[in-house]
Amino acid sequence: MLETIGHLDENTIDGLRKLIHINIDSAKGFEIAASKIENNHIAQFFRDCGTRREANAAVLGRYVEWNNQNPPESGTVSGTLHRWWLELRDIVQNGSELAILTEAERGEDAIKGEYETVLKSTAGSPLNRILQEQYFTVKADHDAIREMRDLRR
């Protein structure tokens, strides 16, 4: 059967669920990072990234719902651990911009990798264009964070 927006393959729906989880984790991580960093420019960039991740999760969630399934409403356990690690590291290192940017880039590596995996496994899906657009935004944010981090080394 041909995959359509209203009748997605189970593999595609599983990929969407993974991306929803990691976008939720990412949004929460950016919220924490924005609250910990003193540089207003970076804090605003993190808030903007978090807003983009929330929007990504919402868009993907609608496609899951259109297929008569419930989208995830929270992140993953590993995402919770990642956010905890960020908070702990921030406290230990007194909110160092470099430490926060390094950890933010590590988180962006994870979400970028998840998009790459899902894009490969859903090649030909009617959602591929949407996933590509989200991936390019995630990649651009990753590259901007890496650049900010490198400027502080």
- Average pLDDT per block of 10 residues along the chain, 153 residues long: 81 94 91 88 97 97 91 72 58 70 88 95 91 98 96 86
Query: Helix or strand or coil: residue 7?
Result: strand
pTM (two decimals): 0.88
- Integer Cα distance of 30 and 120 in angstroms: 26
Q: Give the orientation angle of helix 40-66 with respect to helix 97-121, to 10 degrees.
A: 20
| pLDDT on residue 36 | 83
DSSP state of 71: P
Of 133, 135, 111, the residue nearest 28 (C-alpha): 111
Contact 107, 87 (CB under 8 A): no
Nearest to 67 by CA among 10, 1, 120: 10
Among candidate residues 8, 37, 34, 24, the one with its CA nearest the CA of residue 96: 37
Q: What is the pLDDT of residue 88?
A: 46
**Residue 125 and residue 42: Cα distance in Å, rounded?**
36
